[in-house]
Structure 1
């Protein structure tokens, strides 16, 4: 689905290479300043890397026109502050922009796609609310609804759980990943919480100082060692119902 080869960007990203399969949920995990958001901006073609290649469905990213690219890929940014107080329905409808000619009005199928996306996420009751008045968790889900309306098969989510309480972190991740499984979508997520990554991801890549440190292993002891190298603090790991969970050690 997506392949990144030897990506460099200024002093921030260095020799980044990885691939994402169709229908895969891939988490990028790392400390603040590791280069995660910059990586996502390169993947979404918002900034141009100095060196390296990004391929989408085997085709170089730069070969796509904007309309072609954003019919296949959607980005849910960490922060979105619209200049105008759009209603939720209008915000989701904007996901149909890659399918419209300049100055063209949305068509029946565009409205239907927006309505369907809101329904899938159970957000119909928010359709007439201003986006700016929603809670953080609601804004994250509405951003995902816009990506669904866009009908993209690859969705990039930059810190989708940022600023959410524990309950909403879990619920947002659960809903997003359920949708990915049901619709065979590829997800690339940037997270800070190792346990959310361990609960939901198919694979976890770790990044530090702009370099990939490798893939997080499945074995609890190896997970602990890898996270201690990544965050430079001691961890405790354990298995629970065939899953590995971790927490920082107070000792």
Structure 2
């Protein structure tokens, strides 16, 4: 389980204040809010790329930020919002780089590392890409390879920053459905940032609505995707409907 208790962080005039929530094993949670609301900052502070004011992140009860780097990399995997591959490495080699925190200074990955990397590609349904150059992938394929790289450590927590950014509709659905399936199959706690309330409602178990660095609401999609909450956070008038058991947000003049 991932627990965040009163996360505080500031840079310039922007402040993240009192962010508190939890994500259980096998649960998919979404930090939802408009651009500039603080979602990515919160995610980076949880992972430790930014330093909160005080200790506030716990994984299975352990103070995450006080752990050695290697142990943290084993407990949590992080997938950034965007990545531009500089060289045409094979996909399998890119995934194997996820083992770097476990290898010694002069140690090279062995056969077992490559077998485990292929296993993760297979889990995500993209093992056919193993020998393909990393620079020849579509946006959706690239995101899945980055997820595979994060998974080789077999983390208990997976953090994804806008995994659907720059993807077309088909690949958005593909990546999010794969993430959800992965969470249920492996028991990993998933926390990702999104700005689309419809995608958040369709693929999450819990939504943490964020505005101006603070949490506005936390709960199941049907409990937080409400007309008044969306209006407050996004500044637009909407109508929330239920279709086939799911909430759907539509613009409403």
- Calculate the TM-score normalised by the size of structure 1: 0.93
Which residue of the partner structure matches residue 49 of structure 2?
Answer: 46
Supply the distance in 2 between the matched residues of 1:29 and 1:147 (Cα, whole angstroms): 22
Aligned counterpart in structure 1 of residue 132 of structure 2, from 108, 116, 129: 129
Which residue of the partner structure matches residue 3 of structure 1?
Answer: 3
Query: Within the alignment, does 1:68 sit opposite 2:71 as a pair?
Result: yes
Shift of 1:220: 7.7
- Asked whether the equivalents of residues 91 and 134 of structure 2 are also in contact (C-alpha less than 8 Å), the reply is yes
Supply the distance in 1 between the matched residues of 2:251 and 2:105 (Cα, whole angstroms): 52
Which residue of the partner structure matches residue 58 of structure 1?
Answer: 61
Which residue of the partner structure matches residue 148 of structure 2?
Answer: 145
Instruction: Return 105-114 or 211-220, whichever deviates more.
Output: 211-220
Question: What pairs with 1:214-225 in structure 2 (closer than 5 Å)?
Answer: 214-216=217-219, 218-219=221-222, 223-225=226-228
- Asked whether the equivalents of residues 216 and 223 of structure 1 are also in contact (C-alpha less than 8 Å), the reply is no
Query: Within the alignment, does 1:176 sit opposite 2:179 as a pair?
Result: yes
Deviations along 1:35-58, whole A, 9 cap, x unmatched? Answer: 111111111111111235211221
Deviations along 1:7-42, whole A, 9 cap, x unmatched? Answer: 111133112111111221111100100111111111
Residues 220, 6 of structure 1: CA spacing in aligned structure 2 closer, same or farther, 3 A cutoff? Answer: closer
Which residue of the partner structure matches residue 192 of structure 1?
Answer: 195
- Asked whether the equivalents of residues 220 and 237 of structure 1 are also in contact (C-alpha less than 8 Å), the reply is no
Shift of 1:122: 2.2
Shift of 1:91: 0.7
Supply the distance in 1 between the matched residues of 2:224 and 2:145 (Cα, whole angstroms): 38
Which residue of the partner structure matches residue 207 of structure 1?
Answer: 210
SS at match of 1:168: helix
Supply the distance in 2 between the matched residues of 1:63 and 1:110 (Cα, whole angstroms): 28
SS at match of 1:112: helix
Query: Within the alignment, does 1:30 sit opposite 2:36 as a pair?
Result: no
Shift of 1:108: 2.7
- Asked whether the equivalents of residues 223 and 237 of structure 1 are also in contact (C-alpha less than 8 Å), the reply is yes
SS at match of 1:12: strand
Shift of 1:85: 3.4
- Asked whether the equivalents of residues 31 and 194 of structure 2 are also in contact (C-alpha less than 8 Å), the reply is yes
Shift of 1:138: 0.8
Which residue of the partner structure matches residue 102 of structure 1?
Answer: 105
Residues 82, 171 of structure 1: CA spacing in aligned structure 2 closer, same or farther, 3 A cutoff? Answer: closer
Shift of 1:130: 2.4
Deviations along 1:115-142, whole A, 9 cap, x unmatched? Answer: 1011122222222222233111111111
Aligned counterpart in structure 1 of residue 244 of structure 2, from 235, 241, 244: 241
Query: Within the alignment, does 1:114 sit opposite 2:111 as a pair?
Result: no
SS at match of 1:118: helix
Supply the distance in 2 between the matched residues of 1:221 and 1:60 (Cα, whole angstroms): 29
Stretches of structure 2 lacking an aligned partner (at least 5 in a row): none
Instruction: Return 175-184 or 8-17, whichever deviates more.
Output: 8-17
